[in-house]
Amino acid sequence: SAVISQKPSRDICQRGTSLTIQCQVDSQVTMMFWYRQQPGQSLTLIATANQGSEATYESGFVIDKFPISRPNLTFSTLTVSNMSPEDSSIYLCSVSEGVNQPQHFGDGTRLSIL
Amino acid sequence: SQKIEQNSEALNIQEGKTATLTCNYTNYSPAYLQWYRQDPGRGPVFLLLIRENEKEKRKERLKVTFDTTLKQSLFHITASQPADSATYLCASPEDSWGKLQFGAGTQVVVTP
């Protein structure tokens, strides 16, 4: 199965700043997903990022706040813009090797905003 | 959209016993359900997928059932070991491409 690397693994940021999270996959994959997970809670999908098309955002998430790039089949970035303490969370990327296939996750980026 | 409900209370179990976790879905019957394991500080790891026309699926000491009448999937860990301690997540597809809706997960603690 695909191996996913996320960077950074954790960061502490000042409010009002932006952070870009990178997700690198060791093989070419079509579907890539970005999630947010609050401590002790489940995963909430932010957006689906497929190569060659604009990311599709879920209700409650907008491109201005969470711009996503997907330049090729092995890489994606998620930017958390103009951060506030409410953005403190774990951000995870996952990939799927095909339609209705299991997802494989990175270990996440633990983000704290002061 | 689909709502996935898992028992939020941690399941404490003695080593060697069988742990049984419940996943209930509220709306339409999904084409399949997936189960994942998540350890602290790590991303979820896929364990099993069971389709709606499959009554039961096994993988080593893990067994999953799917009951469309009860709108429920059960996840069993037989002969549990302390290394099985983790949070187990149930997920249902939200669309035909495989976008997933996750439950909140159930924490399992296996004591020696």
pLDDT band at B27 (very low <50, low <70, confident <90, very high): confident
Q: Mean pLDDT score of chain A, rounded to an integer?
A: 94
What does the pLDDT average to over A48-55? 86
Q: Give the distance from residue B1's alpha carbon to the nearest chain A alpha carbon, in angstroms.
A: 12
Question: What is the structure's pLDDT at A85?
Answer: 95
A50 pLDDT more than 90: no
Which of the residues A32, A90, A97, A103 would you substitute to probe the B interface, choosing the one with the greatest number of B C-beta atoms within 10 Å?
A: A103
Question: What is the structure's pLDDT at A106?
Answer: 95
pLDDT band at A54 (very low <50, low <70, confident <90, very high): confident
Distance CA A36, CA A89 (A): 7
What does the pLDDT average to over A88-96? 96
Using one digit for the tens of pLDDT, what is the confidence trace for A5-41?
A: 999 999 999 999 999 999 999 999 988 999 999 988 8
Distance CA B9, CA B33 (A): 21
Q: Which residue of B has its CA nearest to A38?
A: B104
Residue A85 phi/psi, 5-degree rounding, is -55, -30
Percent of chain B scoring above 90 in pLDDT: 84
For tokens 């069993």, the residue is B76
